[in-house]
Amino acid sequence: MTKIVFVPLDERPCNLEYPKRLAEMTDLELAAPPVSILGRKKTPGDTEALKNWLLQEAEEADYALVSLDMLVYGGIVPSRLHYLTREDALKRLEVLRELKRTKPDLRIHAFNLIMRVPAYSSSEEEPDYYADYGRELFLYGWYTDKKEQEALTDEEELIFAGILGKVPKDVLEDFTGRREINAFVNRTALELAEEGIIDYLIIPLDDNSQYGFSPLEQRALAVLSEELDLTDRVAIYPGADEIGCTLFARIFCESKGYLPKLFVRYSSTRGPFCIPKYEDRSLNESIKAHLTSAGAFMADSSQGADAVLMVNSPPVGESDMAETSQAWSQRHWSYFSEVNLREFAQAMRVYLGEGRTVALADVAVCNGGDTVLLKLLARQGQLEGLAAYAGWNTSGNTLGTVIAHAVIEAYYAGARETAGGTDADGVPEGRLRSEAQKRSSRAFYFYRLVEDWGYQALIRKDVTANVLPAFGAGYFGMAGKQPEIEAVVAEKLRSFADERLAGLTPGRIELTNVHLPWNRMFEVGFDLQLVGDSGSDPSREIKATAGN
């Protein structure tokens, strides 16, 4: 059995648990560190303990899937808060060389973020001063970069000058100094790839934009990557919390000698050309990057494709793109005229009727699924046939997650004609796969529907508006009422599953351990069990667990 040793970006469900759930639907083993050494939010993970754990677990591993942000800084948020020197960073990266020295055949797939620059003032995940100067720091980077690309207007020059007068010198030096250390780590990662220490490297741009610190650093890294002749081993594109899933899919494909072809079908003619919110390039270019990094490629036609990726795409980009917090009636006008959900659903029905492996990337709306589409699909009975779904947070988060799941499902469905066996109904079985692995895949699909549609699109907004005020709580602060708020969320999630997802096979959904991992409303964790199914032992269960 192929073994992967996995160092996640942080301890949240999306980074720690999702790749583990993907592994459970395959015959690959994924070893992850104990959550106790991974830190929590602004508290960094224990990098020394992680190093020792990694060295020990890698002795019997075939692959290492490593977040350099965790290895060096102790996680994604600590990467924005640290006071490390270059020497500190190099010392912590040395474990990668040690891995290759002791186990030359170990293939290392790594990723390290280009640090984000939020466009708003908040210290929730940033240094304390970001609450006062966050917007100004974003604009400083925006105009600094734009000025290198083109002349600023007179108005922009005035705004830029005003920003320079508002941000204290020590704040600017602290922020830019930390960015330089992080950029140095990315440059070092490229050098490690050139040496053959890192076999494949993704440098995701976390919450970026057309101009700013992130695209400026991206261009410099792209130039260095080309100079080092690393184009085939390094990918730089928008993303963050989904990269663990992406690299798991890539390792899966490598271990199987599999190169899947995915045909991409959009709900909007404009969709491929829109630049999603929090990103810097067209949706179609991002999809190509996600596919390639996952070990797949974009097919020219649905004929002969291993899977069909249905992309519910926005008809408009950037600031005009809808959010789940908005009412349907408040969406940009193009959502009413430049998206055809009926035709999109019809195409999906045809592909499913042909027995195709169909996955749905729901990126028309930020921070949750598009409930208008999902209600339509539920009404038409099409949720039953989908192999994979995602619709959470950013476009990149969704794409990486659903593509990884789709790649796995396409592999197991792809050799039905040659597997040499049939199921009880006489249908070719495909590649050998245990019943538990099949049910694990289904459980993760249901998990995505419950979280991305149920929580992110519906319940989070409802609880924030109608429940938190009664407890004197806020979106980022539970006011000592977290158990009570979690109980409300749990009740609403169970009601959602019972009302919206009843009847989907292979079993009834049960939710336990519902919790808010970082004491806020943004993300949710829970355990999902599929209990029983028609024609099987009702005591059988399969779990999809997220968070601790």
Which pLDDT value is given to residue 113? 98
> Which residues make beta-bridge pairs with 347?
none
β strands within 299-338, DSSP E: 307-312, 322-323
Q: Which two tokens stand for residue 11?
A: 């301890």
Which pLDDT value is given to residue 544? 53
Give residue 152's region: left, alpha or beta (phi > 0; psi -120 to 50): beta
Which pLDDT value is given to residue 164? 87
The residues, ordered by sequence, that sit 6+ positions from 534 with a Cβ below 8 Å of its Cβ are 505, 506
Alpha helices in 242-315 (DSSP H): 243-256, 283-293
State the Cα–Cα distance between residues 103 and 470, nearest whole angstrom. Answer: 57
The residues, ordered by sequence, that sit 6+ positions from 321 with a Cβ below 8 Å of its Cβ are 274, 276, 277, 314, 332, 365, 366
> Coil, strand or helix: which one is 65?
strand
Which pLDDT value is given to residue 36? 97
The residues, ordered by sequence, that sit 6+ positions from 195 with a Cβ below 8 Å of its Cβ are none
Domains of the chain, each with CATH number or no CATH: 3-117+175-256 (3.40.50), 130-169 (no CATH), 258-433 (3.40.50), 461-548 (no CATH)
DSSP state of 518: T
Q: What is the pTM of this model?
A: 0.94
CB-count exposure of residue 172 (10 Å: 0-12, 13-18, 19+)? middle
Mean pLDDT by 10 residues, the chain (548 residues): 98 98 98 98 98 98 99 98 98 98 98 97 97 97 94 93 93 97 99 99 94 96 98 97 99 97 98 96 98 98 96 96 93 97 98 97 98 97 98 98 98 64 52 87 98 98 97 94 98 97 92 96 96 48 44
Which pLDDT value is given to residue 532? 77
Which pLDDT value is given to residue 507? 86
Q: Which two tokens stand for residue 223?
A: 């130039």
CB-count exposure of residue 484 (10 Å: 0-12, 13-18, 19+)? middle
Host H or E run for residue 298: strand 297-298
Which pLDDT value is given to residue 169? 95
* Structure-derived torsion over alpha carbons of residues 165, 171, 173, 179, reported in degrees to the nearest 10: -120
